[in-house]
């Protein structure tokens, strides 16, 4: 965005205030009245300058055809999106972070830690589709039926959690094309990264 002069900034502010106050943009005459100009051409030339510099759009031949070009919102501390790779643990290392999503920490009721981008359709019948973002809360407080992010040896997967016995865990997909994974904790290492407490889909 190019430089802006003091007068042009006044005009830009004037437009913003006018829209906030009335709900629609000002005419040239409105701007003149607000800023004390005596000729509509004073507003006109400032508007042309603002358009040229990319701060506003002007719809030609249209009354009040001014629209603000909103600058990109400031990216505050958002939540990271982590890609779910077939092998490897989803770490918060920066190289694994696709981008960050700006939303309140309490977006899904209780707090969560990161978003995980889902690959595959193994949880299709639970309404979790390819490329969905599941909100993951890092916790070991897992109950039967929870959707968990589990790491078996080096492979990360999203499944329903079902404890059959103290040492036998079933990880169940929500898709008939996939089979249950039975894990004997005495033979195989299982680590629960966390559980899904919400979902976002960007179409």
Residue 202 binds a second copy (CB under 8 A): yes
Give the nearer residue to a second copy in terms of CB position, either 68 or 97.
Answer: 68
Taking CB under 8 A as the criterion, which residues in 54-73 touch a second copy? 57, 59, 62-68, 71, 73
Residue 192 binds a second copy (CB under 8 A): no
Collapsing DSSP states into helix, strand and coil, what is residue 6? Answer: helix
Residue 122 among the catalytic residues: yes
Scanning 81-89, 123-131, 151-159, 180-188 for contacts with a second copy by CB under 8 A, the matching segment is 123-131
Residue 89 among the catalytic residues: no
Residue 203 binds a second copy (CB under 8 A): yes
Collapsing DSSP states into helix, strand and coil, what is residue 115? Answer: strand
Residue of 8, 27, 45, 139 interacting with a second copy (CB under 8 A): 27
Residue of 103, 152, 190, 192 interacting with a second copy (CB under 8 A): 103
Count the Cβ atoms, other than its own, within 10 Å of residue 181. Answer: 18
Total chain residues near a second copy (CB under 8 A)? 40
C-alpha atoms less than 13 angstroms from C-alpha of 173 in its C-beta half-sphere: 15
Interacting residues with DNA (CB under 7 A): 5-8, 27-30, 32, 36-46, 49, 52-53, 58, 60-66
Query: How buried is residue 126: exposed, middle or buried, by Cβ count under 10 Å (0-12/13-18/19+)?
Result: middle
Rounded-to-integer distance, Cα 55 and Cα 38, Å: 24
Residue 108 binds a second copy (CB under 8 A): yes
Collapsing DSSP states into helix, strand and coil, what is residue 94? Answer: helix
Q: Identify the active-site residue in 122, 137, 195, 196.
A: 122
Lateral strand order in the sheet of 97-101: 97-101, 79-83, 114-117, 133-137
Active site residues: 122, 159
């Amino acid at each position: 965005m190019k430089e802006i002069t003091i007068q042009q900034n006044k005009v830009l502010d004037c437009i913003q205030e006018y829209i906030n106050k009335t709900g629609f943009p000002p005419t040239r005459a409105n701007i003149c009245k607000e800023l004390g100009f005596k000729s509509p051409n004073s507003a006109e030339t400032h508007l042309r300058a603002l358009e040229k510099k990319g701060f506003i759009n002007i719809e030609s031949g249209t009354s009040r055809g001014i629209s603000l070009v909103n600058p990109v919102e400031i990216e505050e501390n958002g939540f990271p999106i982590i890609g779910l790779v077939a092998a490897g643990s989803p770490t918060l290392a920066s190289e694994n972070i696709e981008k960050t999503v700006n939303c309140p920490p309490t977006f899904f009721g209780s707090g969560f830690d990161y978003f995980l981008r889902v690959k595959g359709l193994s949880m299709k019948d639970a309404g979790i589709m390819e490329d969905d973002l599941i909100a993951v809360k890092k916790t070991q407080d897992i109950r039967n039926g929870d959707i968990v992010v589990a790491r078996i040896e080096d492979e990360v997967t999203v499944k329903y959690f079902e404890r059959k016995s103290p040492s036998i865990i079933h990880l169940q997909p929500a898709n008939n094309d996939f089979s249950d994974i039975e894990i004997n904790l005495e033979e195989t290492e299982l680590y629960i990264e966390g559980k899904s407490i919400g979902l976002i889909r960007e179409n």
